[in-house]
Structure 1
Amino acid sequence: MSERLHRAVYLTGPTASGKTAVGVRLARRLGAEVIALDSMTLYRGMDIGTAKPTMEERGGVPHHLIDVLDPWESASVAEYRRMADAAAAEVEARGRRVLFVGGTALYLKAMLRGLFEGPGADPAVRSRLEEEAGRIGSPALHARLAGSDPATAARLHPNDARRIVRALEVLELTGRPLSELQSGHDRPAPPGTMVFALDRPRAELHARINARVDAMFAAGLVDEVRGLLSAPRPIGGVPAQGVGYLEVIDHLQGRATLPSAVERVKARTRQFAKRQMTWFRGLSEVRLRPVDPSMTAEQVADELAGAVEEGASDGPGRR
């Protein structure tokens, strides 16, 4: 494990909880640079649907691991972790503090607890499973995985073909479920590792999600997706499954009206936020920081900066 990843400060929380605005202000108070902890803002050209912070929203604070992949590429959790560790080393070499900001729970867990990468890929097995996914569909493979490794299947979306194939590949190569193998590499981060999750009242969070989705469509999300589909190399399978992108693709390909697509994005985003909070509550390192609707981003950042400077001696937050 990289010690610098445990020296870093982490700001997470469900989608639309206000992480970007709080993160910029917290970075200023800590003398930190931000490393994005987000599996979707990695992609160039996917700006509106990922709520990628604009240069103005970044407020002059350096942000890293944004716009580092093309939409037809993909990166495993292990690849993200290597990139994040390298970025953290560069930030510390400049005498700055590292602040991770984002809501991708798998990335957060990998930063805190390391990652079991499993056996190397077997080209023949992987090719056969990928061909099968293309022929019968990834939901069918997901159902097969659920019969052999329900714990892994429960945390994977049925359309996440790449990770489903990998889990089945590990099962076939080792004879053991991926979840079982990973459990031996799941020790919590050292005491004192500072991980804060913004926790807003559910009704307020849902209202923020609905407003964000409306704003995304008003800002041109449909045109953004149309451009991704018509590019010389179209959007890849993993980013195309992202919340907002899948629903707009269905609309553009005639499977959904625009109003129904908007409502599906809102519903799926609310479901995603619920899953995120379940993940955060399941990580002992995470300190939930309740955010009252009346609090400004500056006030939240001030509170968090105080906790950081006290060494987070308050212990775990309310769960």
Structure 2
Amino acid sequence: MECLVGKVSIFLIINSISERDFFNAKGVINPTNPNFVKNGNLNRTLIVITGPTASGKSCLAMRMAAELDCAIVSADSRQLYRGMDIGTAKPTAEDRAIIPHFMLDILHPGERYSAARYEKDATKVLEALFQKESEVIVCGGTGFYIKALLEGLDPIPHVPKEVYDELNKKLERQGLDSLVQKLLEVDPLRAKEINLQNPRRVIRSLGVWESTGKPFSAFKRDHPKELPWHIEKMLLLPDRESLYAKIDKRVDEMLNGGLEDEARKLHENGVLGKIDTVGYSEWSNYFKGTIDLDSCVALIKRNTRRYAKRQYTWFRKLTGWRRIFTKSP
């Protein structure tokens, strides 16, 4: 894989720089670049790489893992599932033979999983890896999983199903705007934190208030989670024009690589309808004959761009990360 390079000393970014500054002409990290400083605490270092889909996270993680001779732990909610390889840009068998990967292929398609489970499972993997390794890389674009791993989850109380059912009925009768206005009234802090265009987030937040009489934001953790390792956090933020162009190109490459056959197999196994994720859910109508292939592909590209836009919005709110603003070549 072209992302792999020879083993050299690791240098971490201290400024927002172009991806071109990351590696020299030979494809290795450039130790003479003034934007890099050698990390003085590599005894136990967790390197976290995130960013929108198609931003180059995996390639960067592979290069660093090769240099450091360490493992990669996935933080991608879609790569957890078996049989969903092409549409999730999962590391190939060749990649995984060269660099050990964890938190891949642990679930059946359609199986429910949560950020709480990810925090527990990924922490166990990291603890085991750090028994023998001084560096480990976490790489993925599922922001909520990364937040859970690094910061822990807030102790949100259980909300009865009946409360959510009633809120969903209100959503159908009154529309999302009505629920958003209610949230702004009872929990303005929470309203600032979430995507108010996401009905599930709004209903989740209102459900806590409806069932406890307290706002969702009242259940925030008093103290941040503390991990026993030095943590380096790297956020890739490509310019949107080049990112969207790369997304369109990657979808075409996925199709050439067998995405339709992969989706068809899931359809034939009766699980495609249970998969509510971009790159797969669009195929259901194609297999039913209600849309043609071109329309299906156009939907995948559009929905992937929209997904990347939501990720971009989430990541730009992060603080304390080394931001890498990549540019068009």
TM-score per shorter chain, which class? Answer: 0.7 to 0.9
Report if aligned partners of 1:34, 1:61 keep a CA contact under 8 Å in 2: yes
Structure 1 residue 200: deviation in Å?
Answer: 2.3
Residue aligning to 2:236:
198
Residue from 41, 46, 59 that aligns with 1:21: 59
Moved more, 91-100 or 66-75: 91-100
| Inter-partner Cα distance in structure 1 for 2:50 and 2:240 | 16
Give ranges in structure 1 of 5+ residues lacking alignment: 1-5, 295-319
State the shift of 1:225 in Å: 2.0
Secondary structure at the counterpart of residue 8 of structure 1: strand
SS in 2 for 1:263: helix
> Equivalents in 1 of 2:194, 2:210: separation in Å?
15
Identical positions, percent: 35
How far off its partner does 1:286 sit? 1.8
- AA aligned to 1:282 is K
1:282-301 mapped onto 2 (5 Å cutoff): 282-294=317-329
Q: TM-score, normalization: structure 1?
A: 0.75
Instruction: Give the Cα–Cα distance (whole angstroms) in 1 for the partners of residues 218 and 286 of structure 2.
Output: 40
Q: Give the distance between the partners of 2:142 and 2:283, measured in 1 at CA.
A: 22
Q: In the alignment, which residue of structure 2 is the partner of 1:308?
A: none
Between the aligned partners of 2:290 and 2:244, the Cα distance in structure 1 is 26
TM superposition shift of 1:243: 1.1
Equivalent residue for 1:154?
195
Report the secondary structure of 1:49's partner residue. Answer: coil
Q: What are the Cα deviations for residues 82-134 of structure 1, in whole angstroms up to 9, with x where unaligned?
A: 1110110111012242210011111122222211141135xxx316746986x
Written as runs of structure 1 = structure 2, the 5 A alignment for 1:224-263 is 224-231=262-269, 234-235=271-272, 237=274, 240-263=275-298
Q: For 2:108, which of 58, 67, 70 is the aligned residue?
A: 70
Q: Is the 8 A contact 2:51 2:140 kept in 1?
A: yes
Q: What's the offset of the Cα at 1:267?
A: 1.7
| Deviation at residue 14 of structure 1 after TM alignment | 1.1
* Post-superposition offset of 1:256: 3.0
Once the two structures are superposed, residues 259-294 of structure 1 have per-residue CA deviations (whole angstroms, 9 ceiling, x without a partner) of 122112212212222222222221112211133445
Which residue does the alignment assign to 1:266? 301
In the alignment, structure 1 residue 278 sits paired with structure 2 residue 313: yes
Of 142, 153, 169, the match for 1:115: 153
Matched, 1:44 2:82: yes
Deviation at 1:168, TM superposition (A): 4.9
The structure with the largest helix share of the pair is 1
**What's the Cα RMSD here?**
3.3
Letter in 1 for 2:235: A
**Equivalent position of 2:119 in the other structure:** 81
How far 1:156 sits from its partner (Å)?
Answer: 7.0
Flag the 1:281–1:153 CA change in 2: closer, same or farther, 3 A: closer
Q: For the structure 1 residues 27 and 132, does the alpha-carbon distance in structure 2 shift closer, same or farther, using more than 3 Å as the test?
A: same
196-205 or 95-104: which moved more? Answer: 196-205
Does residue 129 of structure 2 align to residue 91 of structure 1?
A: yes
Consecutive unaligned residues in structure 2, runs of 5 or more = 1-43, 185-190
Q: Distance in 1 between matches of 2:296 and 2:91?
A: 24
Shift of the 149–43 alpha-carbon distance from structure 1 to 2, 3 Å rule, reads farther
Q: Tell me which of 5, 11, 14 is aligned to 2:49.
A: 11
Identify the range of structure 1 (254-263 vs 141-150) with the bigger mean alpha-carbon deviation: 141-150
CA deviation after TM superposition for structure 1 residue 60, in Å: 1.2
> What is the Cα deviation at residue 167 of structure 1?
4.2
- In structure 2, the CA distance between the partners of 1:195 and 1:64, relative to structure 1 (3 Å rule), is same
- Aligned 8 A contact 1:146 1:154 in 2: no
Q: Which amino acid in the other structure matches residue 48 of structure 2? A: Y
Q: Is the 8 A contact 2:171 2:179 kept in 1?
A: no
TM-score when scaled to structure 2?
0.73
The match for 2:141 is 103
Q: Secondary structure at the match of 1:99?
A: strand
Query: Residues of 1 paired with 2:231 and 2:321: CA distance?
Result: 9
Task: Tell me the distance in 2 between the aligned counterparts of 1:186 and 1:69.
Answer: 32
Determine the structure 1 residue equivalent to 2:257: 219
Q: Which moved more, 1:98-107 or 1:25-34?
A: 25-34
Task: Give the total of aligned pairs.
Answer: 278
